Amino acid sequence: MSDQPRVEIYTKTDCPYCEKAKDLFDSKGIEYETYNVTDDDDLFDEMVDRADGRKTAPEVFIDDELIGGWDDTSALNETGELDEKLGIATDDDDEVVEHRKLIIAGTGIAGLTAAIYAGRSNNEPLVIEGDEPGGQLTLTTDVANYPGFPDGIGGPELVNNMKEQAEQFGADLKNGIIESVDDSSRPFRVEMKDGDVYTADAVIAASGASARTLEIPGEDELMGYGLSTCATCDGAFFRGEDMLVVGGGDAAMEEATFLTKFADTVYIAHRREEFRAEDYWVDRVEEKVDDGEIEIMKNTELIEIHGSQEEGVDHVTLVENDKGHPTDRLEDPETEEFGFDVGAVFFAIGHTPNTDYLEGTGVETDADGYLKTKGGEGGGQTETHVPGIFGAGDVVDYHYQQAVTAAGMGSKAALDADEYLEDLERADSSVEEVEPAAADD
């Protein structure tokens, strides 16, 4: 019989973060019990009670101790404390150094496509999962525009297919987060958050982007208690409530449309007059407006969320000004501040590129932190300013930010890295050929 601690995970149906939590324990070979709270009010109440009032799934417990949701579990994993709680931590604090030809940061669509191509080129990539294994696409249950799937495909399913394909071609996927890359000498030194160190001849940065927040009062306290950045994960918990979606791009339109399944009314607060979203999404939202399921609040911004962890979101404070961007016009007498009752708030306001681990290298970024690559025509389009470090997907491409464009860029990065690695090998072998002759002189 196993002497591992008892791991319990409260889950719900169609919950990407629940899948991530399960995958994490699977990857450690840890057994767990799951309780699906969807459509089971008693189980849901039990979860809320045990999780100190939190109403989001997953909720993870180890030997009855509340670990928390996916963010808490993955944060503990980063520091090694999760392994300690599970009794699988090793005492070996020494750096474990392994050399790889190619390390890929990220298992989103870009990183996994790069891994498929790099595996096929015999570059045996090590692919680091980061704190969001599978990337952003794991947050959507319906990918309708990825070529080859006329009936659509779930994000997690698409990602899992790609992982399987990458592993078939020789890629190794590893749980963990890259802390830093040292480009002061070759090979590159890639240091992980848990202290492990790898060296690599080439690196592909496919580390994507993370959901942005507003940094407003009430946000820290209520995140996970009625405030969320993932409608598909948490929408069902607020069935019958009025819900507020903040944003004006594709993600905001998609999330608002999705939330109409559960909400009494969905309100969209957008700070400008025009939406940034594609016409397709705006049209779908307009249909829901006509049906009375969505109401749009243009030129409106959220400035505070009110509520408590016990009771969830009670109401919000909004500001409105017909000229747009009302928080820039708080002194304007035409700016109106008002309270508004909603039971849940969803942020859909874009992303911040994940590039912290490249700070201190020669890799250049733009003003918003997106990686700069060479671009242009011909080969080498994904090269950064550091030879041997390549960039792909949403961490570079702030404009398109689509699964298929991330995949395309991932393939380009792997092909560029392959050329670089071949040049490196050729240069090394010509040095080896020259050296014995020099010794004969």
Ligand X SMILES: Cc1cc2nc3c(=O)[nH]c(=O)nc-3n(C[C@H](O)[C@H](O)[C@H](O)COP(=O)(O)OP(=O)(O)OC[C@H]3O[C@@H](n4cnc5c(N)ncnc54)[C@H](O)[C@@H]3O)c2cc1C
Task: Catalogue the active-site residues.
Answer: 230, 233-234
Q: How far is the CB of 348 from ligand X (least distance, A)?
A: 8
* Residue choice 14, 72, 131, 286 for contact with ligand X (CB under 6 A): 131
Token couple for 91:
């005492």
Residue 111: exposure state from Cβ atoms within 10 A (0-12, 13-18, ≥19): buried
In a 3-state reduction of DSSP, which class is residue 69?
coil
262, 240 contact by CB (below 8 A): yes
Of the candidate residues 115, 403, 414, 415, the single one contacting ligand X (CB under 6 A): 403
Of 137-145, 239-247, 328-336, 379-387, the segment contacting ligand X by CB under 6 A is: 137-145
Identified binder of ligand X from the candidate list 20, 401, 413, 416, rule CB under 6 A = 401
Asked whether position 353 contacts ligand X by CB under 6 A, the answer is no
Residues 78-117, mask of contacts with ligand X (x by CB under 6 A) = ---------------------------xxxxxxx------
Q: Which is nearer to ligand X, 48 or 294 (CB)?
A: 294
Residue 414 binds to ligand X (criterion: CB under 6 A): no
H helical segments located in 187-319: 219-222, 231-234, 250-259, 279-290
Q: Measured from the CB atom, is 44 or 347 closer to ligand X?
A: 347
CA angle 106, 112, 114 (to 5 degrees): 100
Candidate ranges 25-33, 44-52, 84-92, 131-139; the one touching ligand X (CB under 6 A): 131-139
Give the phi and the psi of residue 282 in degrees, each rounded to 5.
Answer: -60, -40
- Which residue, 48 or 202, has its beta carbon nearer to ligand X? 202
Q: How far is the CB of 209 from ligand X (least distance, A)?
A: 5
Burial class of 340 by CB neighbour count within 10 A (0 to 12, 13 to 18, 19+): middle
Residue 171 makes contact with ligand X by CB under 6 A: no
User: In whole angstroms, how close is the CB of 251 to ligand X at the nearest point?
Assistant: 5
From CA 319, how far away is CA 241, in angstroms rounded? 22
Position 181 contacts ligand X (CB under 6 A): no
Asked if 251 is part of the footprint of ligand X (rule: CB under 6 A), the reply reads yes
Interaction of residue 247 with ligand X, rule CB under 6 A? no
Residue 375 amino acid letter: G
The residue among 110 and 202 lying less far from ligand X, judged by its C-beta, is 110
Question: Closest approach of Cβ 379 to ligand X, in Å?
Answer: 21
Q: How far apart are CA 127 and CA 103, in angstroms?
A: 6
Q: Which is nearer to ligand X, 67 or 139 (CB)?
A: 139
Burial of 63 (0-12, 13-18, 19+ CB in 10 A): exposed
248 binding ligand X? (CB under 6 A): no
Among 119, 187, 208, 408, binds ligand X (CB under 6 A): 208
Both tokens of residue 252?
């905001």
Q: Least CB distance from residue 390 to ligand X, whole Å?
A: 13
d(CA 334, CA 323): 9
Asked if 256 interacts with ligand X (CB under 6 A), we say no
Q: How far is CA 217 from CA 221, 241, 301, 302, 390, in A?
A: 8, 22, 13, 10, 39
Please report whether residue 206 would count as binding ligand X according to CB under 6 A: yes
Nearest to 375 by CA among 355, 360, 353, 390: 390
- Contact residues toward ligand X (CB under 6 A) are 105-111, 128-133, 135-137, 139-140, 143, 145, 177-178, 206-209, 251, 354, 357, 393-395, 401-404, 406
